[in-house]
């Protein structure tokens, strides 16, 4: 019987292989509505159009996202000037996911007011933030864990629309971001989705995680072979 830590490692590797890594192209956190319930998902538009449940896709935030905080008004959520940050920007970069937030699947006439996409929880090695810029270049923070999570951490999305915001991380590593949608349907009334958890991997170099997975597999194989060799020796 393999040690539990080997089984856990192999399971984690298999789970990683079962997920689709999205490292470039236009992709949305999509909000649909069907059978009186919200449907939060991932809608990949490029290079081929596909749709995934939140847990079936990973947003790979590669080294092209690396930068530093400009300081000033950004310091409150990105840290002082010069603080390392990793950002998915509002302009398309062929080396990064071009992440949008889409409600195109909703019929605007069916809803009273905006759809709220609220931040409910974040698990990760650093802070998670979502912001836009006003006409003067000043940040308008929509979500940030820098000062905890409250009801103010939300995006107001117009039904039947599509938009982009800056999405930032303060440290490399694995992040689980849980979101919840709510809105008032003209027939069904106030509706709130089940929480949906999206995964982001912020990596200094694109090859780092691949090497880590390969190394974990090699280590597990070495241990198993070692145990097998030991068993043969004892039989001899």
Closest CA to 65 of 161, 142, 167: 167
**Domain residue limits at 154:** 21-206
Considering the domain boundaries, does residue 200 fall inside one?
Answer: yes
Considering the domain boundaries, does residue 202 fall inside one?
Answer: yes
Which tokens is 48 given? Answer: 């081929």
pTM over cut 0.85 = no
* More confident: 42 or 9: 42
What is the number of other CB atoms lying within 10 angstroms of the CB of residue 154?
21
Considering the domain boundaries, does residue 139 fall inside one?
Answer: yes
Considering the domain boundaries, does residue 77 fall inside one?
Answer: yes
Structure confidence at residue 194 (pLDDT): 98
Quick one: pLDDT band at residue 205, thresholds 50, 70, 90?
low
Per-residue model confidence as pLDDT tens digits over 73-95: 999 999 999 999 999 999 999 99
Per-residue model confidence as pLDDT tens digits over 111-125: 999 999 999 999 999
Strands (E) in 16-158, as ranges, are 20-22, 25-34, 37-44, 50-52, 57-61, 66-68, 84-88, 97-102, 111-123, 128-133, 139-144, 154-157
Q: In the predicted model, is pLDDT for residue 221 greater than 50?
A: no
Count: domains in the chain:
1
């Amino acid at each position: 019987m393999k040690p539990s830590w080997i089984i856990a490692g192999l399971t984690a590797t298999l789970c990683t292989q079962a997920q689709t890594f999205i490292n470039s192209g236009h992709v949305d956190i999509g909000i649909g509505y069907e059978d009186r319930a919200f449907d939060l998902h991932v809608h990949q538009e490029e290079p081929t159009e596909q749709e995934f449940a939140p847990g079936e896709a990973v947003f790979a935030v590669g080294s092209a996202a690396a930068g530093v905080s400009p300081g000033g008004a950004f310091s409150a959520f990105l840290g002082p000037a010069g603080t390392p940050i990793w950002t998915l920007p509002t302009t398309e970069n062929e080396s990064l996911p071009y992440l949008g937030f889409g409600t195109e699947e909703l019929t605007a006439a069916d809803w009273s007011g905006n759809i709220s996409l609220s931040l409910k929880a974040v698990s990760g090695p650093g802070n998670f933030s979502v912001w836009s810029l006003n006409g003067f270049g000043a940040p308008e923070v929509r979500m940030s864990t820098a000062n905890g999570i409250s009801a103010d951490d939300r995006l107001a999305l117009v039904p039947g629309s599509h938009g982009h915001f800056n999405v930032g991380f303060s440290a490399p590593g694995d992040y689980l971001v849980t979101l919840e949608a709510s809105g008032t349907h003209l027939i069904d009334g106030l509706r709130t989705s089940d929480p949906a958890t999206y995964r982001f991997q912020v990596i200094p170099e694109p090859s780092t995680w691949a090497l880590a997975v390969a190394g974990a597999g090699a280590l597990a194989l070495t241990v198993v072979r070692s145990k097998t060799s030991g068993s043969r020796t004892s039989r001899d």
